[in-house]
Homo-oligomer: A and B are copies of this chain.
């Protein structure tokens, strides 16, 4: 039997990249279930875990249920458990209308995901009535302690992109070197030198140049690359 654990939830920070901006996928909670307009507020996709489910599995399930996103890269980055995280009246009302134990103290385990906005098309389901990509610098006041979680998640992402290639998951399958550079500049929030950046990325030996080039641009068309599936020896 599957029963929800009243004390443990997972929340997912879903990063996407579009039009030169880092975005976060937020959902709006179901007002009809809560029956009160004031309860309409933006939150991270997240929910209670099942009692018989691993944390990572719970994160995947919840993300799938609320946004239809499936099989995305997800990484745990922290547990949050300030007992006073439920302080807004709207959050309380929402819990009362939707949870079996609205007074239960909940700690949440946070994950971040990196998705290619063009590849996935999230749509609201379950108690999510709307999903929306929001630019990082336009994130509104979120429910519970979700703004804190977002801050910590962005820091974690910044630290991790510098020593791994996870950032490529934000790009379409085929991309140009300038697109990667723009992405890194966006995530790290600093300009990077073009020649040095290219040298460094190519030296990683993880990119395969395609025979294709950019089309329909009014300048020299750029070489397209994709991630190598396997490294050569």
Contacts and interface: CB of A to CB of B under 8 A. Distances in A.
Interface of A: 5-8, 49, 51-55, 58, 76, 78-83, 105, 107, 109
A55 B108 CA distance: 11
Copies in the complex: 2
Contacts of A7: 5-8
Given A51-B105, A107-B109, A79 B82 contact: no
Contacts of A52: 83, 105
B109 A55 contact: no
8 contacts: A5-B7, A7-B8, A8-B107, A51-B105, A54-B81, A55-B80, A79-B109, A81-B109
A201 to B, nearest CB: 23
Contact of A55 (B5, B6, B51, B79): B79
A111 to B, nearest CB: 10
Nearest to A108: B79
A193 B79 CA distance: 38
Given A5-B105, A8-B8, A55-B107, 15 more contacts: A6-B7, A8-B107, A49-B81, A49-B107, A52-B83, A53-B83, A54-B82, A54-B83, A55-B82, A76-B78, A76-B79, A78-B79, A79-B79, A81-B109, A107-B109
A49 B52 CA distance: 20
A6 B54 CA distance: 17
A8 B79 CA distance: 11
A167 to B, nearest CB: 19
A54 B80 CA distance: 9
A145 to B, nearest CB: 11
Nearest to A6: B7
A199 to B, nearest CB: 24
A87 to B, nearest CB: 14
A109 B109 CA distance: 9
